[in-house]
């Protein structure tokens, strides 16, 4: 449970309809397995003690007495287990029958939570036997114990304060106002749904999407388990469908008829708590009408089985990736088109180096002009060779401009930079920061002057990863008149160019783009040897896929450095040495804090995804903030 990771178990035991003794034996068996697997919370299906499909047998005392004895047996058998269990049982109270979720922890019956909404349509006739949950909470006696009975009950972990658990039953989710909505407003971060949902064509997808979007709306985790094929098949079939959703994504699942008796998965309640704090319009407060029941388990380290994508900004599925790339290119082009139209700019000026970022910016500029119905020659691609420019990148820059149909200009800057270095008393040889930055600032001056000369604006090329690391020259490539790539991380830049290469109708253009993708990332500020690149960014900073991974989890989800390092080691196991990952993370943190002053005065740029470092948008940070607390965690 350290770092907020909580393991859940979703069980669907084999049952015999109306045989409580057999059923509780199977339930206990899986309860033991859930505890041994490290589950903090375990769910069993709706009315699993008796079987859901007992129909009018529910009226009979023989079945109800057997069910109550079975719950007593379960409590005794699990008295030493540090797992919070939810299981379904019919309960008679006050002359009525209720479909209940029994919450049991360390042998104690913590609560009975009745079902609120009873179906009475199509194949469901549950309202024939059961009574909807009453509005009031009462203390009742059941299975030899006293416990609260009602729907306004939550279970809060004594040590991991972010874990607050609520429960509802099957149909409750499908109604207009699920009880879990109130639970989440009262603080619940995990909703457990014990269900007995019969299967039909198309229903699994709808069921999963319903829970997934519910978890997104309420910024919670939603765990669901359902009865399996051992229920009665008189008219229906049950599939044992089980899944865990977390804030709009499915993190674990046993598909319908998957056959798994128990499915494990982890949720991240600290992540949910961070997001709730971040969303100012999220309503959540302790509710005096609720009963909050404490339970406590050891805060041990959860063995993680959930995957952490190496490239969280890039969808793994090719179809989803292509859709995202298409949308992003459209968003970038539409944003730039609006800025060109609004400013009356006659040209879009792009410094083209033959590298990834300037290639993407030039593609966007050409598409923006297409949207405006203007000739692509209104885009001016400017290459400015200097001391470190390689022949490969220079050639690709020229080819790219020609094949995209934009205006190409080559303006060598070596002489002007050398003159400037001489003017300020630099020897013009020592490859120090002055030597490098003089070139970057000269290039920006040339671009700005060409924009003035042609009545245009300078399109920035810097990406999100470079902004995070401060990998730009202040008032050099740091500056532009509109930054189209400022929300695109380096790992995604590659896929956007690859997508454009795959979808453009020019084999020659596609070939140039693929060669650009194959070129090592470099600022090309140090003199090259024989036209080859002598300065490689990732040898200086570390791999961009690591930095983008850190950026996503630290900035988007508020992970602390120790937690980020833990999941990075899992995600990149076998790819990088653990010490290398740790050192790269330290570098990321140091640079992220020290380089905020550059982000505080960046130009306008379009937000594209969930992570943005614009000082006017998603990220506000003082330039003088200390990284000490973050670094100390490593």
Mean pLDDT (whole number) for 326-338: 98
Helix axes 507-517, 490-503, angle to 10 degrees: 160
Alpha-helical (H) ranges within 479-552 are 490-503, 507-517, 537-541, 544-551
Domains and CATH numbers, the chain: 2-295 (3.60.110.10), 318-632 (3.40.50.620)
Check pLDDT > 90 for residue 400: yes
Q: What is the number of alpha carbons within 13 Å of residue 177 lying toward its C-beta?
A: 2
Q: What share of the chain is helix, strand, coil (3-state, %, to 5)?
A: 40, 20, 40
The per-residue pLDDT for 107 is 97
The per-residue pLDDT for 121 is 66
Percent residues over pLDDT 90 in the chain? 92
Strands (E), 46-169: 84-93, 96-105, 108-114, 138-142, 145-149, 153-157, 164-169
Long-range contact list for 286-289, CB < 8 A, 24+ apart?
286/186, 286/187, 287/152, 287/182, 287/185, 287/186, 287/187, 289/152
Mark whether 205 is an active-site residue: no
The per-residue pLDDT for 532 is 63
Check pLDDT > 70 for residue 531: no
Mean pLDDT of the chain: 95
The per-residue pLDDT for 127 is 84
Mean pLDDT (whole number) for 25-51: 98
Mean pLDDT (whole number) for 533-538: 74
Confidence of residue 536 (pLDDT cuts 50, 70, 90): confident
Alpha-helical (H) ranges within 317-463 are 318-343, 356-372, 391-404, 414-423, 433-454
Helix axes 356-372, 391-404, angle to 10 degrees: 10
- Report pTM: 0.92
CA distance 130 to 135: 15
Cα angle vertex 406, ends 484, 508, to 5°? 100
CA distance 534 to 567: 33
Catalytic residue among 115, 152, 270, 490: 115
- Tens-digit pLDDT profile for residues 430-459: 999 999 999 999 999 999 999 999 999 999
Catalytic residue among 7, 20, 26, 46: 46
Check pLDDT > 60 for residue 123: no
CA distance 322 to 87: 43
Instruction: Give me Rg for the CA atoms of the chain.
Output: 30
Check pLDDT > 90 for residue 312: yes
Mark whether 170 is an active-site residue: yes
DSSP label at residue 529: B
Q: Are 233 and 51 in contact (CB under 8 A)?
A: no
Catalytic residue among 20, 48, 170, 284: 170
CA distance 525 to 385: 10
Mark whether 338 is an active-site residue: no
Question: Can you read off the two tokens belonging to residue 496?
Answer: 């956007």
The per-residue pLDDT for 250 is 97
Helix (H/G/I), strand (E/B), else coil: 167: strand
CA 571 from centroid of its chain's CA atoms? 14
Name residues whose C-beta falls within 8 Å of residue 65's C-beta, 6 or more positions apart in sequence: none
Helix (H/G/I), strand (E/B), else coil: 506: coil
Confidence of residue 591 (pLDDT cuts 50, 70, 90): very high
């Amino acid at each position: 449970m350290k770092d907020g990771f909580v393991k859940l178990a979703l069980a669907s035991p084999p049952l015999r309809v109306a045989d409580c003794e057999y059923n509780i034996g199977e339930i206990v068996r899986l309860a033991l397995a859930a505890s041994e697997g490290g589950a903090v919370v375990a769910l069993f299906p709706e009315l699993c003690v008796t079987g859901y499909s007992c129909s009018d047998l529910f009226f009979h005392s023989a079945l109800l007495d057997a069910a109550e004895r079975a719950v007593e047996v379960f409590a005794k058998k699990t008295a030493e287990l540090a797992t919070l269990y939810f299981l379904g049982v019919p309960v008679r109270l006050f002359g009525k029958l209720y479909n209940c979720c029994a919450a049991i922890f360390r042998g104690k019956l913590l609560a009975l939570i009745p079902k609120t909404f009873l179906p009475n349509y199509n194949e469901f006739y549950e309202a024939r036997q059961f009574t909807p949950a009453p509005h009031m909470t009462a203390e009742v006696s059941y299975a030899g114990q006293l416990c609260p009975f009602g729907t306004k009950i939550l279970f809060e972990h004594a040590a991991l304060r972010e874990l607050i658990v609520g429960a509802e039953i099957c149909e409750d989710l499908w109604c207009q106002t699920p009880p879990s909505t109130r639970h989440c407003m009262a603080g619940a971060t995990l909703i457990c749904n014990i269900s007995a949902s019969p299967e039909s064509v198309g229903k699994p997808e709808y069921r999963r999407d319903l829970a997934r979007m519910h978890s997104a709306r309420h910024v919670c985790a939603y765990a669901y388990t359902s009865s399996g094929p051992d229920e009665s098949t008189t008219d229906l079939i049950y599939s044992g469908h089980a899944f865990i959703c977390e804030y709009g994504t499915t993190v674990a699942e046993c598909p319908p008829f998957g056959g798994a008796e128990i499915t494990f998965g982890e949720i991240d309640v600290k992540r949910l708590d961070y997001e709730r704090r971040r969303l100012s319009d999220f309503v959540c407060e302790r509710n005096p009408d609720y009963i909050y029941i404490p339970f406590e388990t050891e805060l041990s380290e959860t063995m993680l089985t959930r995957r952490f994508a190496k490239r969280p900004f890039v969808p793994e599925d090719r179809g989803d990736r292509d859709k995202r790339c298409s949308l992003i290119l459209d968003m970038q082009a539409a944003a730039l088109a609006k800025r060109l139209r609004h400013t009356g700019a006659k040209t879009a000026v792009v410094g083209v180096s033959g590298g990834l970022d300037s290639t993407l910016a030039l593609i966007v500029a050409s598409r923006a002009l297409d949207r405006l119905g203007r000739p692509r020659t209104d885009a001016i691609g400017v290459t400015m060779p200097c001391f470190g420019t390689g022949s490969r990148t220079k050639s690709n820059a020229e080819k790219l401009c020609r094949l995209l149909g934009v205006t190409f200009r080559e303006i060598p800057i070596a002489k002007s930079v050398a003159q400037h270095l001489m003017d300020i008393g630099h020897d013009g040889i020592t490859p120090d920061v002055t030597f490098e930055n003089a070139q970057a600032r000269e290039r920006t001056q040339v671009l700005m002057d060409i924009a003035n000369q042609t009545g245009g604006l300078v399109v920035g090329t810097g990406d999100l990863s470079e902004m995070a690391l401060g990998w730009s020259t202040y008032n050099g490539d740091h500056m532009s008149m509109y930054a189209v790539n400022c929300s695109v991380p380096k790992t995604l830049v590659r896929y956007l160019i690859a997508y454009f290469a795959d979808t453009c109708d020019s084999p020659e253009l596609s070939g140039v783009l693929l060669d650009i993708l194959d070129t090592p990332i470099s600022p090309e500020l140090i003199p090259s040897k024989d036209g080859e690149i002598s300065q490689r960014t990732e040898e200086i900073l570390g791999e961009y896929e690591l930095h983008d991974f850190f950026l996503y989890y630290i900035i988007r989800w508020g992970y602390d450095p120790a937690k980020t390092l833990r999941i990075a080691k899992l995600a990149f196991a076998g790819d990088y040495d653990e010490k290398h990952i740790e050192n790269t993370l330290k570098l990321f943190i140091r640079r992220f804090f020290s380089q905020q002053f550059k982000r505080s005065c960046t130009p306008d740029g379009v937000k594209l995804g969930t992570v943005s470092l614009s000082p006017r948008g998603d990220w506000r940070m003082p330039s003088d903030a200390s990284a000490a607390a973050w670094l100390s965690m490593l």
